[in-house]
Structure 1
């Protein structure tokens, strides 16, 4: 079971600071429909955090609230001690919080290279946050290396997920929010994808908050986890502890 890294490569986030992300008693939803109720969590850049729960538990809504995609009704979301409320998704992304939404979120009529350059545009002026370069992304996802001029829409589901994650990394984030990155992948590819996500965290010192339906695999690569049920956090703790707890499975 992974443990929080205590060191990071030179030039990464963690060798200079450990940015923190705090969700404080957040209530959020869509219009008059409340999805999250009094949700609180803390994530550090030294961790991989899993958000677990059944469909409709509020996991994706929580990621969208953190990323500034939806407004918070009550409570606060703070990044490095600064409130993110009302700033909007573009400003949150500039601050270093990158969301890879469910469904991959690539621009299918743009080439792989053009998709990746969109991420680099977000990072303009802040590229010193990490050592992310195009070469790093292509080393991480070598299947993309010889297809940069092909339209992203021609790729397999797994390869489109690689493009979506690569685009987010090119934005040089401090935190990477991933909404079910293994959706649509063949079972044999799920472990590989999640191992690559863990490698990103380890090599770049980027904090990761991941929503994942494959509970065993999510806990395997995580340091801590939160379990949501009907919009509320009902359990949290070290991933290894939750993985070995037989009572945890009754929550899903």
Structure 2
């Protein structure tokens, strides 16, 4: 099942007596590249390796989530048996990246395409550790955060070339496949991007405010603090990445 996820820009708030509002700040989407963890875990990504920033924000994202079901049949039966759940498939996020260098001829189309295709091969560090793994990737767009994934496929279509054959325009379709498996208590048929997700702290964030925004109750701050080893819930450093537990995990820890 593929579900298009349209993104609608937030409507700016209207200031009193001004007759208008402050235009929302344009935030560029980007893919953050992380080293695969040396210990082989599938939950916490390693150190940052850089990022691939979108030249133009995507028009839409497509999320695919499926599950395996098995039906047992009996000879002579008029109807099939009831389906039995046999496991969830990893989430897949497909996005389109448009690249254009018709004004600059600076070669960034070729450079960005190489960055994307390099995400499909193991990092040199993982090969040295005899645990070959491609970079881990997380999609960010403002406050929107995708699941931790790897790039399973890159399709590139070049549509314009310079006099010397240099690609000047390309459309890249990138497929991200979820790395971590089902977490305890996660609903395998959920349409969410992930039962657990990562939030990057911004100025003004507190553990209580995150709990209110994510779960509708500031009392859920303890679960966030425990999941991230936070000693002082009132002090969060901007840029820090916090793991936000799933709703079922909150109920289990209550």
* TM interval, short-chain normalised: under 0.3
Q: Would you tell me which structure has more strand in proportion to its own residues?
A: 2
Q: Which has the larger radius of gyration?
A: 2
Higher RCO (Cα < 8 Å, 6 or more apart): 1
TM-score by length of 2: 0.25
